[in-house]
Amino acid sequence: MPELLPQPQPALPAPRKRPIPRRVREAIDLMVQGRVRTWTAAAKKVGLSREHLARQIGLAHVAQHLRDRAARAVAVGAGRAAAKMVELLEAPSSAVQHDSAKFLLGVAGVKPASDAQVSVNIDLKAGFVIDLSGRSPSERPMKVVSPQPGAVAVGDKS
């Protein structure tokens, strides 16, 4: 009897890319570019209700589009921000120069040692022991607790 080999499965079609409405994309661009401060203002500017825009942003593919646009905006701004930090090294204010230099050195991995950690270890014993056993003092032997080895209690006959 011939051995049955598994038949190759047909490739699954790529998931259909869901379109994002034009006005929703415009509202996202307004927020990412900083031309409006709130989603309400973005929705009003493109002619949508705030509730509709909020529902759209809650959809996975729209939220991913928002994250992609924000990441792209940050990547583009990173070069300009770096140039500004280098430019601030020549600022008239020595405080600004200091802060800029400290930041740039930190990004480059040159940092001062962290603050010294102070560790205090004190071996402190209790000064009194309270016996709650209920036995009378004459029935129990006296125990000496002392930091000095071989200490003898007052009244001890040994």
Residue-wise pLDDT for 51-66, tens only, equals 999 999 999 999 999 9
Q: Which domain holds residue 86?
A: 22-107
Query: Would 151 be classed as within a structural domain?
Result: no
Query: Would 82 be classed as within a structural domain?
Result: yes
Rg (CA), the chain: 37
Which candidate, 73, 76, 87, 89, places its Cα nearest to that of 35?
Answer: 73
Query: Would 136 be classed as within a structural domain?
Result: no
Query: Would 116 be classed as within a structural domain?
Result: no
pTM: 0.53
CA distance 62 to 25: 9
Query: Would 155 be classed as within a structural domain?
Result: no
Q: How does pLDDT run along the chain (158 residues), one tens digit per residue?
A: 566 777 778 777 777 778 999 999 999 999 999 999 999 999 999 999 999 999 999 999 999 999 999 999 999 999 899 999 999 999 999 999 999 999 899 888 887 767 666 777 777 666 666 677 777 767 766 666 677 766 665 555 55
Domains of the chain: total: 1
Query: Would 128 be classed as within a structural domain?
Result: no
Q: Taking a C-beta distance cutoff of 8 angstroms, is the pair 89, 104 a contact?
A: yes
Query: Would 4 be classed as within a structural domain?
Result: no
* Residues comprising the chain, all counted: 158
Distance, CA of 12 to chain centre: 39
Query: Would 112 be classed as within a structural domain?
Result: no
